[in-house]
Amino acid sequence: MNATVKAQQVINRLAERSIIASRQPIKCRLGSEKLPRRGNACSACTVRREFELDQAVAELINAGAFKGTGACPYQVMISHAVAALTFSPEVIRAKSAGRYRVDPVLEIKGALKRIGAITRATRWSREDIEGLSNKDASWEAVEAVFAAEHALQKALPIFQSQTTRLPRGRAGALHVQAVARAMATAWRVLTGRLPAQNNGKFHKLLAAGVATIVGDAAKEPNLESATRIAVARIKKEAATRS
């Protein structure tokens, strides 16, 4: 099965689980109680262990890797995986592999140019729009245009910092890097820090994430290299936002 198709099927299932969990939030009790005899989760957990990623999280819980943040490790991994594998630059490129290339920077700049033509035509500033007292349907339309311009201006430098060094391999390799980004971000949420160099526990988690999303690859990915690249990009994105 094509790596992109395989990834999308798993993402759909993970997204479904994430939506269900958001509708029925349960406070995780890890760290505030002893693990039940069967382990793998706190007493409040209702998560089904469906994928290799779920099993890797269970092993890390039993090993005491996650001391307890009030957030369910399964749900944290799922939510970050869905986000990274839906919106990350690597996946944008993976989806376009073999068909056409999408350059987020060029697309956003083009959109800003067209939106700018509208905002300039109004001869108003964003402050003028927000200060109007007669907030009818026309006001809402113009305000939405200004809001879109502001959001794109905020997104542009982030994409500029990412796209210059994006890997240019096949879709499968791009998905591996997207998984690494997701797992590293979730690891920071659950442990308070990004994975360190040669972190064997994180490598097992990443391998399970790759197996879940990408499936069996002809060539085993370099987990340490994928981790190092992901950590560097996360740090760079944080610096861009500050």
Q: How far apart are CA 128 and CA 11, in angstroms?
A: 43
Q: What is the DSSP letter of 219?
A: S
Domain ranges of the chain: 3-97+170-241, 104-163
Question: pLDDT at position 56, please?
Answer: 94
Provide the pLDDT for residue 53. 93
Tens digit of each residue's pLDDT, the chain (242 residues)? 455 556 667 778 888 888 877 777 778 888 778 877 667 888 888 888 889 999 999 999 988 888 777 888 998 998 888 887 776 666 655 555 544 455 677 788 888 888 888 888 877 777 777 776 666 777 778 788 888 888 888 888 877 765 444 444 455 577 788 889 999 999 999 999 999 999 999 999 999 988 887 776 546 788 999 999 999 988 988 887 76
Confidence at residue 91, expressed as pLDDT on a 0 to 100 scale: 60
Task: Return all residues near 53 (Cβ < 8 A) that are at least 6 apart.
Answer: 77, 81, 205, 208, 209, 211, 212, 213
Neighbours of 26 (CB within 10 A): 13
Output the pTM of the full model.
0.64
Tokens representing 7 are 């990834």
Please tell me the predicted confidence (pLDDT) of residue 208.
92
**How far is the C-alpha of 8 from the C-alpha of 6, rounded, in Å?**
6
| Confidence (pLDDT) at 37 | 67
- By CB neighbour count within 10 A (0-12 exposed, 13-18 middle, 19+ buried), where does 125 fall? exposed
